[in-house]
Amino acid sequence: IKVLKFYESLEAAESAVSAQNEVAAVTGNNIDPGALTIFKGCGADRQQQGLCAVLSDFVKTTTAVSYLHLLDLAHCVHSIYAMGFVHGDLRVPNILFKEDQTVTLIDFEWSGRGKTFPQTVNPAAFFSYARPSVCAGGIIQADFDWLCLADIFDMIKCRGAVLAALSADYDGILEELEGHRRSINRPNFRAELIKPIPPRKFPDFSMLDERVKSFHKKSNPSKKRPAAETDSQE
């Protein structure tokens, strides 16, 4: 797939690309630096560029989510944390599970050091461990990615890895995931991590005309007009 992300300004797009390239240089598993293309808005200068877009290079993804993916995700979080960095929006929709059993992180709009959540942030988009730390305009704490990782491990019901993530214990996560793998022998966690989108339900309009007619009939009952009076002739 190719990832297309829109930003409200050229400055925001450049900041996100810079953050993504910085993380790629450390983790080695992200989209290659230089493979991100910025499409500028139609404005005449930098301050008035308008909406900009960032397009990634082609990424080969898979529908299967394995233990190796989760191990690599933990490695990414550990590496980002060690560099004093935070992704800031580490949720499953922002993780690409690749064919080579590694992951690619996307959407670096809130990434960096000393970043703050936007005023439009939706805490409901996060789960139990990360959600209490999400506040509009609030600082994104250094351990926030670990909280997001704990939520992901909670989705696969690996309690030991959850506790290790909450303690930012990378080695503990590796140990707990290995124990989890041996105990349940699950080759694919897609069902737990990537929820299917329920089909959209549309209202049934098949009887709408009859209902409207019935409503108007009850609201405006027809009144019989009195018979026209005729003059009697003697």
Residue range(s) defining the domain that contains residue 65: 59-193
Q: Is residue 94 included in any domain, yes or no?
A: yes
Q: Can you give the CATH number for the domain in which 183 is found?
A: 1.10.510.10
Q: 51-76: per-residue pLDDT in tens?
A: 888 988 888 999 889 999 999 999 99
Q: Is residue 139 included in any domain, yes or no?
A: yes
Q: Is residue 24 included in any domain, yes or no?
A: no
* Nearest to 51, CA basis, from 39, 33, 67: 39
Q: Is residue 211 included in any domain, yes or no?
A: no
Q: Is residue 67 included in any domain, yes or no?
A: yes
* Structural Rg of the chain based on CA atoms: 28
Q: Is residue 132 included in any domain, yes or no?
A: yes
Amino acid identity at 49: Q
Q: Do residues 131 and 55 make contact, with C-beta atoms less than 8 angstroms apart?
A: no
> What total of structural domains would you count in the chain?
1
Q: Which two tokens stand for residue 131?
A: 């959600």
Quick check: 228 pLDDT over 70? no
Q: 131-182: per-residue pLDDT in tens?
A: 999 999 999 999 999 999 999 999 999 999 999 999 999 999 999 999 999 8
Q: Is residue 95 included in any domain, yes or no?
A: yes
pTM above 0.75, yes or no: yes
Q: 9-52: per-residue pLDDT in tens?
A: 888 999 999 999 888 888 876 667 668 899 887 766 666 667 88
Higher pLDDT, 188 or 119: 119
Residue in the structure block whose two tokens are 């300004």? 9
Q: How far is CA 227 from CA 13, 141, 215, 224, 230, in A?
A: 79, 84, 28, 9, 9
pLDDT, mean of residues 209-225: 60
Q: How far is CA 104 from CA 26, 28, 181, in A?
A: 13, 10, 22
Amino acid identity at 203: P
The CA dihedral of 88, 90, 96, 98, to the nearest 10 degrees, is 110
Q: Is residue 71 included in any domain, yes or no?
A: yes
